[in-house]
Amino acid sequence: MEIITPSTRILSIGGYIRFQGVVTVAAANWWDPNNEGLCVWAAYAPKGAASLAASYTDLSGNSHDAGVGAAPDWDGTNGWKFNGSSHYLTTAFVAASDQSQSIIIRYSNCVTDGGFVAGVSCGYKKQFGYQGYPGFSLALWHNGANYMKQSFSCAAGIAAIAGNGAYWNGSSAGSIPAWSGSCGSVSCIGAQGPSGGNYSAVYVQALAIYDCTLTGDQVAAITAAMQAL
């Protein structure tokens, strides 16, 4: 297969036609945009899904479909629409204590202070995931004995944890303290754990979980692919 680039010439009856502008080719798998064989555990894209039921499907092919704790509202533009009081989805992903995993999420309309957008709480200061604090203009990434926070508006964007690194819209936002001891609880979306609690009023367009540590370049590439959804 030949890909036409801005400098490609095509022979016509009158001679050559040179294409102007930039031609982009969208990656088929946004969770692995450079086809590196990344360690994706699951990938969900409720934005653009055919239905709410279809939005639960793990697109990575690993069959880790999202479970329903209390179904959020949904539409093809905004994705999952969590109400901040009862809606949440479950996964079977278990947080490790060695900071070896990654999660990246695209969301908007976050209005609940301190609600879990995605992740799990295994006890006080023992969490893996992302919380939004739009009222205080803070974003917190938990992965250990304490938390890491940044002072900026976090009502919408793409947040990621990759090992002990925190990322915001594809750029590094600092390091996350370590923690020890097992967790055992599975991670959720829209709440802090498998039985709900600490709900988040937020719209989620896409989410991917990785059972390894992504590099900064990989986070940036996935962020760009998620932004294009």
Residue 70: which CATH number? 2.60.120.200
**Is 2 within a domain?**
no
**Is 143 within a domain?**
yes
**Is 125 within a domain?**
yes
Of the two residues 195 and 130, the one the predictor is more confident about is 130
**Is 12 within a domain?**
no
What is the residue type of 154?
C
**Is 90 within a domain?**
yes
Band of the pLDDT at 41, cuts 50, 70, 90?
very high
Band of the pLDDT at 37, cuts 50, 70, 90?
very high
* Cα–Cα separations (whole angstroms), residue 110 to 40, 83, 92, 155, 170: 25, 10, 24, 5, 19
Judged against a pLDDT cut of 60, whether residue 48 lies above it is answered with yes
Residues in Cβ contact with 223 at an 8 Å cutoff, skipping those fewer than 6 apart: 104, 158, 160, 167, 169, 170
pLDDT tens sequence across 129-147: 888 777 665 666 665 555 6
The pair of structure tokens assigned to 160 is 């990621």
**Model pTM?**
0.84
% of the chain exceeding 70 in pLDDT: 77
- Averaged over 100-108, what is the pLDDT? 93
Cβ(31)–Cβ(208) below 8 Å = yes
Judged against a pLDDT cut of 70, whether residue 22 lies above it is answered with no
Task: Give residue 164's pLDDT.
Answer: 87
Count of domains forming the chain:
1
Task: Give residue 160's pLDDT.
Answer: 92
User: Which residue range is the domain that position 48 belongs to?
Assistant: 29-227
What is the residue type of 104?
I
pLDDT tens sequence across 67-87: 999 999 999 999 999 999 999
Instruction: List strand residue ranges (DSSP E) for the chain, in order.
Output: 9-12, 15-18, 40-44, 67-70, 73-75, 79-83, 88-94, 102-108, 115-121, 127-133, 138-142, 147-151, 157-162, 165-168, 171-175, 186-189, 201-210
Of the two residues 139 and 61, the one the predictor is more confident about is 61
The pair of structure tokens assigned to 15 is 């001679």
The pair of structure tokens assigned to 91 is 């996964």
C-alpha span between 119 and 186 (Å, rounded): 8
Judged against a pLDDT cut of 80, whether residue 187 lies above it is answered with yes
**Is 7 within a domain?**
no
**Is 82 within a domain?**
yes
What is the residue type of 229?
L
